[in-house]
Amino acid sequence: MPSRVAGYAVPQLRGGSDFAGLRCGSSASAESVFGLGASLAERLTTGSPVALRPRSVAAPAAAALPTVSLTVAVGLGPGGLRLVCGELLLVHAASGGVGLAALAAARRLGAQVLGTASSAAKAQALRLRGLRLVAPSRHGRSFLLDFFDFDFAAPVVAPAVAAVLNSLTHDDFVPRSLTVLVPGGRILELGKLKAWSAAEVAAMRRDVQYAALLLDRRTSEAPCTLLTELRATADRASQGQGLLPLTLFSFNEVVDALKMFQQARHIGKIVLTMAPSCSAAMEKEFSLDMRYLMERASTPASSRQ
């Protein structure tokens, strides 16, 4: 990201992959879009992974959706956990953007969901969304104690977990998660730092199917295939489905935003917004045939929770 755009100082932070704003052509009209973009201002081509933003969905709300929606679509679908009706899914860090999106998607499939959360406030927020068991994610031992003390009576269909959507690598959460999986269970790793290899998982549980989700690779190798998923996300959002809790910061408050993210104090997504005056200046300065003018809502590239 440049240090100055249209005469305005911009924090030294690379733009996140998710955005919402205006795409302007050679005519006077502009399209409200959201999707995936690599930097603060870039050329959008016909193959770019963007979709029209529903009029009923504000730009910050739309900017929070692309990565989490695509992660869940791939993660729970045929290329991931292959979650089906009646199965029990364990979602770690369930109060984050991906966790909440996974909860909604699993329910659409008819699956049951258990989760973990790092604070009492997050656990309460998940219980208000219908999760019966929310175990601690700060300490692995507490997670197992809460899990095995829980009463798995109806309406939970299975007495053990069929699949795990994992993003925790601290305090032995991977092996602890493996202990609650049914024979032949599946685990999908979302994290990259200290992530286990397939060989390490096989050494503990040969029956478990383990994979790591590389969404970045899929985005770069097959961007056109993402359009269908983005349009499905837009359709659900237009009906009020899948929208996430947001914490908004301006670009001038990016340090505060990163501190909140680092300390994991947010629920849902953190979104950075740009002042309208700066957006107008950008529209005047950038005269590309196909460009987007951000209103601007963008999330840091690493904020998947």
How do residues 106-141 score in pLDDT, each as one tens digit? 999 999 999 999 899 999 999 999 998 888 887 766
pLDDT at 37: 67
The pLDDT > 70 percentage for the chain reads: 69
90 phi, psi to nearest 5 deg: -100, 120
Q: How far apart are CA 14 and CA 36, in angstroms?
A: 14
Q: What is the pLDDT of residue 22?
A: 74
Mean pLDDT of the region 149-174: 71
Domain spanning 4-63+223-299 has what CATH number? 3.90.180
81-212 topology per CATH: Rossmann fold (3.40.50)
- Interatomic CA distance for residues 219 and 230, integer angstroms: 12
The residue-averaged pLDDT of 156-184 equals: 81
Angstrom distance (rounded) from CA 52 to CA 116 = 34
User: What confidence tens digit (pLDDT) does each residue in 9-31 have?
Assistant: 333 334 447 888 777 654 456 77
How far from 287 is each of 27, 93, 283, 293, CA to CA, in Å? 12, 42, 8, 10
Position 195 scores a pLDDT of 86
- Residue 56, pLDDT score: 93
pTM for the whole thing? 0.80
Give dist(CA 204, CA 181) in Å, integer. 12
- Fill in the amino acid letter for 274: M
Give how far Cα 100 sits from Cα of 94, 230, 241, Å: 6, 17, 12
Indicate the domain borders of the chain.
Answer: 4-63+223-299, 81-212
